[in-house]
Structure 1
Amino acid sequence: MTSTGHDVNSDALVQSPDSKHPANLICSLCRQFYGHGWVTGTGGGVSIRHDKHIFLAPSGVEKELMQPEHIFVMDYASREYIRRPLALKSSACTPLFLAAFTLRGAGCCIHTHSQWAVLVTLLCEAGMQGRKGVFEISQIEQIKGISRGGTGSTEIAEGGRKLGNLSYFDTMRIPIIENTAHEEDLKESLEKAMLEWPETCAVLVRRHGVYVWGKDVTQAKTQAESLDYLFQLAVEMHKLGLKWT
C-alpha cells in the first residue's frame, strides 16, 4: 500500500507516457472544462470506457488539479473497482456514466455544470420557451455537430456531410429530467429518458447541468462543446425575443 492508500500494483492501470491513455485524457479534459467554467469547484466529471475497463474521475478533487493517480478504474463486466484510491471518494455520477455505456454503447460520458445548460432548463421550466420537459432548437448551423443517439456514424459523405448527424433543418431535442438531492438517484430517470428519446446525445438535469456521451472521447467532447454553444445561443436568442424553433 502507498501513503495514498491504494495498492501499488494497480498504479500501472493509470500510468502511461501516452497522452491518449484514458487516465491522462481525463485529467487534460478536466483542465479544459475548468477553463470553460463547466466544472467549477469540484462539480462535474468524466468517464472513459477503454477495452475491459472504465476510468472515472473521482469525487471531491478540484478538476484543474487532477492527476492520473486520482483516477478510479472499474472492471466493466463485474462493475467492481480494480483501482480505488482509498483517500478519495468514487464519483456519485458513476451509475449515470454506466447508463451511457450500457444503453448507448458510449465510449466516453461527460457531465458538466454549465451555466448555459442550467439556464435553458430554467427557461423551459418557466414556460418562457418551448416545453417543460425538453430543450428544442432548429435551423442553427451548430446542430450539424450532433449525432443521432450520441454515438452515430462519423463517416464523411460526399460534400463533407457526416452520416448519422443531424442536419440543419432537423430539430434537435434534448430531454430534461428533474434534479434529485443525491446525484446517484438520477439514474432511473436518466435511463428512462435515454429509452424514450433514442435520438438524443445528452440529457439535461433541471437546475443542475447536462450529461453528454459519444462513441469515443473525441465525439463526446465535440458534442459537449456544440451543445454548450447552442445552450448559450438559446439564452441570448431569448433575451432578444427570438424563438428557438
Structure 2
Amino acid sequence: MSKRPEASLDSQMPDADQKRRRLDISENGDNAHLVTPEPHDHDHPANLIPALCAKFWTLGWVTGTGGGCSIRDDDLVWVAPSGVQKELMTSSDLFVLSVAQQTDPKNRVYLHKPPAGRPSQCTPLFMAAFTKRGAGCCIHTHSHWAVLVTLILESQGPEKDKAFEINNIEQVKGFGRGHQKQGNLDYHDTLRIPVIENTSHEEDLTEFLEEAMEKYPDTYAVLVRRHGVYVWGDNVHKAKTMCESLDYLFQLAVEMKQLGLPWISNVSKVVTSSGR
C-alpha cells in the first residue's frame, strides 16, 4: 500500500481531484460518485476501506461484523457500515459525511448513504479522532490480544488497570511522540495506552474516549476493556503501522506475562561509537 501525503487539520490545500470532487457534491443528492472511484485508484478511501477491512479480517480484528475503519480526506469522511461482514464489504456499502456539517452529533448529515445498512456505531469515536487529533484514519479492532491485555490489567486491581505500559521493546519505536510533536518514541521510552470501560452501546464510549485523549494527550490509541482498541494516525499509512505495532506488543505482553516477565524494565542504554 502506497503512503498517502500527511494531512493537518485543515491547513493542507486540497489537490485538483479533491477540488473537483467537492464541486460535484450535492447536499440533496445521492453523491454516488463518492463511493464509485476508479478501480485502479487504490488510495481512494472508498477503495482503501474495503481492502483494509478484508486484510484485518484475516488477522481476526474484524470478525463477526465487529470493528471497522474510517478515513478522512480533507473535509470528507468515509465510514464503514455497521453489522456487515467486513471481509465482504464493497465501496458501495460506505457512508460519506462532511466534517463541517456535523453540528449536531445526534443528527448526522450524510452526503451519501447506501441503499441498505446503517452507519457504524463507531462513527462518533472516529469523528473524535478526526476533530480532536487531526487524524486522517482511525481503525477499530476486536483483537483478542487487546482484550487479553485489558483483562490482565483488570486482574491487577483498581487504579492499576487504567493504562497499558511497556518499554525497552523495539516495536515501541513505531509510535509518534504525540500530536503535533516531531519524531517517534525511542526504544527505551515507555509507551502508554489508556484503558476505558466498556458500555452496552458503542457510541456511548465517545465521552470516555475523549476524556482519555485529554488525560493522555500524546496517545495514538485507546483500549476498551473486554472489547478492543481504537488506533488513529495522521494518515492511513501511519494508522495501519501503529495498529500492527500495537497488536504485536499486546501479543508479546500476554506471552511475557505468562513467563513472569515484567512489561516495564530497567535496561541500560548502550553507548555506541556514534555517541547516540
Instruction: Give TM-score, length-normalised by structure 1.
Output: 0.90
Give the match's secondary structure for 2:212: helix
**Does 2:90 match 1:61?**
no
What residue number does 1:25 align with? 48
Higher alpha-carbon deviation: 119-128 or 32-41: 119-128
**Alignment check: 8 A CA contact 2:29 2:111 kept:** no
What residue number does 2:100 align with? 77
What residue number does 1:230 align with? 249
Inter-partner Cα distance in structure 1 for 2:168 and 2:218: 17
Inter-partner Cα distance in structure 2 for 1:105 and 1:148: 15
**Does 2:130 match 1:101?**
yes
Inter-partner Cα distance in structure 1 for 2:163 and 2:257: 16
Deviation at 1:131, TM superposition (A): 2.3
Give runs of aligned pairs for residues 84-95 of structure 1, distance below 5 A. 84-95=113-124
Give the match's secondary structure for 2:118: coil
What residue number does 2:164 align with? 135
What residue number does 1:45 align with? 68
Structure showing greater radius of gyration is 2
What residue number does 1:35 align with? 58
> For residue 219 of structure 2, what is the amino acid of its counterpart?
T
**Where in structure 2 are there 5+ consecutive unaligned residues?**
1-27, 103-108, 265-276
Q: In the TM superposition, what whole-angstrom CA distance separates every residue of 1:169-206 from its partner, at most 9, and x where no partner exists?
A: 11000000000000000000000000110111100000
What residue number does 1:191 align with? 210
Deviation at 1:9, TM superposition (A): 4.3
What residue number does 2:32 align with? 11
**Does 2:177 match 1:148?**
yes
Give the match's secondary structure for 1:25: helix
> For residue 37 of structure 1, what is the amino acid of its counterpart?
G
Instruction: Give TM-score, length-normalised by structure 2.
Output: 0.80
Inter-partner Cα distance in structure 2 for 1:60 and 1:8: 25
Deviation at 1:113, TM superposition (A): 0.2
Aligned length in residues: 228
1:172 corresponds, among 191, 207, 221, to 191
**Alignment check: 8 A CA contact 1:106 1:214 kept:** yes
Give the match's secondary structure for 1:61: coil
Higher alpha-carbon deviation: 116-125 or 81-90: 81-90
Inter-partner Cα distance in structure 2 for 1:183 and 1:19: 30
What residue number does 1:160 align with? none
Segments of 4+ in structure 1 off by > 2 A? none
Q: In the TM superposition, what whole-angstrom CA distance separates every residue of 1:77-123 from its partner, at most 9, and x where no partner exists?
A: 00221101141011000000000011101000000000000000000
Deviation at 1:148, TM superposition (A): 2.2
RMSD: 1.5
Identity within the alignment, %: 61
